[in-house]
Amino acid sequence: MNVSTSSIDSLTRPLLDLAFRFRVPLSWIVAICGFAFARPTVVSIILGSAWAALGMGWRAWAAGTIRKNTEMAQDGPYARSRHPLYFGNLTIAAGFGLASGRVLIFCAIMALCFAVYLPLMRDEEAFMLSVFGDRYREYMNKVPRLLPALRQSDRPGPQRFSWSQYLANHEYNAALGYGAAVALLIALHLLHRH
């Protein structure tokens, strides 16, 4: 049986749109259930929080580079991925899914991430095309959507990392959330150990 891409899209798009519309409550439900059913071990916490820290670094780099709604970011991580903030989020989510010590929690977290970020990337790219036109289309042809390229694209823009931009984009909130999640995983490990 040959199923066309458009028929798959017609089946999955309503589900993705629904997940995107309810992304905040779904995120809270997955997070609460994730922590409630997590059985973190020392190894899972170390590996998962280290993986999530890589995502935090990637997000920080992107947040310190992008000037939202003023410039088309093409430098730094944006020369390797069109959506480096989302790649950072996925890496963080995967890390905390791993840290939970439960395969089911990892799968639920990743499913929610893809359900939210796929339509979000599609909508953001449509917006960027409407604002920047052929310039963004050329960028799309050179830079992968999500997974970073090993090599930077040939023509980075004028943006550079800035700590003041990192702060202006309130990226410190992600760092605080990371610290709280690691602390909670450690507390859960200690609680379940006894």
Is 137 inside a domain boundary? Answer: yes
What's the structural domain count of the chain?
1
- DSSP category for residue 74: -
Which of 64, 60, 98, 70 has its CA nearest to residue 185? Answer: 98
Task: Tell me, yes or no, whether 7 lies in a domain.
Answer: no
pLDDT at residue 6, as a whole number: 59
The predicted model scores a pTM of: 0.83
Per-residue model confidence as pLDDT tens digits over 129-172: 999 999 999 999 999 999 998 877 665 555 678 888 888 888 88
User: Tell me, what's the pLDDT at 1?
Assistant: 45
Q: What is the CATH number of the domain that holds 170?
A: 1.20.120
Tokens found for residue 170: 């309130």
The span from the CA of 12 to the CA of 10, in Å, is 6
3-state helix, strand, coil in the chain (%, to 5): 75, 0, 25
Average pLDDT over the chain, rounded to an integer? 86
User: Residue 65 belongs to what domain range?
Assistant: 16-193
Give per-residue pLDDT as tens, 10-31: 666 676 677 667 766 777 787 8
- Per residue in 68-120, pLDDT (tens digit) is 777 888 888 999 999 999 999 999 999 999 999 999 999 999 988 888 888 88
Domain contains 128: yes
Percent of the chain with pLDDT over 90: 51
